[in-house]
Amino acid sequence: TLRIQASLTVTSLQQEGIDIAIRMGQGNWEGSESHYLFSDELIVVAAPGYNGGVLPATPSDIAKSHLIFSMESWKTWCVNAGLEKEIVPGGER
Protein backbone atom coordinates (compact mmCIF):
# COMPACT_ATOMS: atom_id res chain seq x y z
CA THR A 1 0.00 0.00 0.00
CA LEU A 2 1.33 3.41 -0.96
CA ARG A 3 0.24 6.43 1.08
CA ILE A 4 0.62 9.84 -0.58
CA GLN A 5 0.09 13.14 1.24
CA ALA A 6 -0.03 16.68 -0.19
CA SER A 7 0.23 19.32 2.52
CA LEU A 8 1.87 22.60 3.49
CA THR A 9 2.78 21.05 6.83
CA VAL A 10 6.25 19.58 7.10
CA THR A 11 6.06 16.48 9.28
CA SER A 12 8.23 13.45 9.88
CA LEU A 13 7.24 11.16 7.05
CA GLN A 14 8.39 8.09 8.97
CA GLN A 15 6.41 9.03 12.08
CA GLU A 16 3.30 9.70 10.00
CA GLY A 17 3.69 6.48 7.98
CA ILE A 18 3.88 8.44 4.73
CA ASP A 19 5.78 7.03 1.75
CA ILE A 20 5.68 10.12 -0.53
CA ALA A 21 4.90 13.76 0.26
CA ILE A 22 4.44 16.63 -2.16
CA ARG A 23 5.81 19.84 -0.68
CA MET A 24 6.24 23.42 -1.77
CA GLY A 25 9.58 24.95 -0.91
CA GLN A 26 13.32 24.74 -1.37
CA GLY A 27 13.47 21.00 -0.68
CA ASN A 28 16.09 21.11 2.02
CA TRP A 29 14.09 19.28 4.69
CA GLU A 30 16.21 17.33 7.14
CA GLY A 31 16.05 13.57 6.68
CA SER A 32 14.26 13.82 3.32
CA GLU A 33 15.26 13.34 -0.29
CA SER A 34 13.63 15.79 -2.68
CA HIS A 35 13.04 16.00 -6.43
CA TYR A 36 12.01 19.17 -8.26
CA LEU A 37 8.61 18.76 -9.92
CA PHE A 38 7.59 22.19 -11.27
CA SER A 39 7.44 25.92 -10.55
CA ASP A 40 4.29 27.54 -9.33
CA GLU A 41 2.63 30.54 -10.96
CA LEU A 42 1.17 33.34 -8.88
CA ILE A 43 -1.75 35.32 -10.22
CA VAL A 44 -4.15 37.79 -8.68
CA VAL A 45 -7.85 37.24 -9.33
CA ALA A 46 -11.00 39.20 -8.53
CA ALA A 47 -14.70 38.75 -9.10
CA PRO A 48 -15.96 40.92 -12.00
CA GLY A 49 -18.19 42.84 -9.57
CA TYR A 50 -15.41 43.53 -7.03
CA ASN A 51 -15.26 47.21 -6.09
CA GLY A 52 -18.30 47.96 -8.23
CA GLY A 53 -16.55 46.55 -11.29
CA VAL A 54 -13.60 48.93 -10.98
CA LEU A 55 -10.76 46.43 -10.79
CA PRO A 56 -7.23 47.34 -9.68
CA ALA A 57 -5.09 48.07 -12.73
CA THR A 58 -1.59 48.21 -11.29
CA PRO A 59 0.39 46.30 -8.65
CA SER A 60 0.12 49.36 -6.37
CA ASP A 61 -3.68 49.35 -6.79
CA ILE A 62 -3.75 45.65 -5.94
CA ALA A 63 -1.65 46.25 -2.81
CA LYS A 64 -4.19 48.89 -1.66
CA SER A 65 -7.17 46.58 -2.27
CA HIS A 66 -9.01 44.40 0.24
CA LEU A 67 -7.17 41.11 -0.14
CA ILE A 68 -7.94 37.56 0.89
CA PHE A 69 -4.75 35.85 1.89
CA SER A 70 -3.72 32.25 1.57
CA MET A 71 -1.03 30.50 3.58
CA GLU A 72 1.50 31.53 0.95
CA SER A 73 3.61 34.66 1.07
CA TRP A 74 3.07 37.51 -1.35
CA LYS A 75 6.83 38.26 -1.31
CA THR A 76 7.64 36.69 -4.70
CA TRP A 77 4.68 38.37 -6.38
CA CYS A 78 5.55 41.76 -4.86
CA VAL A 79 9.19 41.50 -5.95
CA ASN A 80 8.19 40.49 -9.50
CA ALA A 81 5.60 43.29 -9.62
CA GLY A 82 8.21 45.87 -8.61
CA LEU A 83 6.56 46.85 -5.33
CA GLU A 84 8.82 48.37 -2.69
CA LYS A 85 7.12 46.62 0.25
CA GLU A 86 5.72 43.12 0.61
CA ILE A 87 1.96 42.74 1.15
CA VAL A 88 1.45 41.20 4.59
CA PRO A 89 -1.87 40.01 6.09
CA GLY A 90 -3.12 42.49 8.68
CA GLY A 91 0.02 44.58 8.31
CA GLU A 92 0.87 47.94 6.90
CA ARG A 93 0.95 47.96 3.10
Question: How confident is the model over 58-93, as pLDDT tens digits?
Answer: 988 888 888 776 656 677 788 888 888 777 765 544
In tens, the pLDDT along 32-56 reads 788 888 887 777 888 889 999 999 8
Cα 80–chain centre separation:
14
- Quick check: is 82 in a domain? yes
pLDDT score of 93? 46
pLDDT score of 53? 92
Domain that holds residue 8: 1-36
Q: What pTM, to 2 d.p., does this model score?
A: 0.52
State how far the Cα of 80 lies from the Cα of 24, in Å rounded to an integer.
19
- How many domains would you assign to the chain? 2
Q: Give Cβ neighbours of residue 89 (< 8 Å, ≥ 6 apart).
A: 67, 69
pLDDT score of 19? 76
- Quick check: is 93 in a domain? no
Residues 44 and 83 in one domain: yes
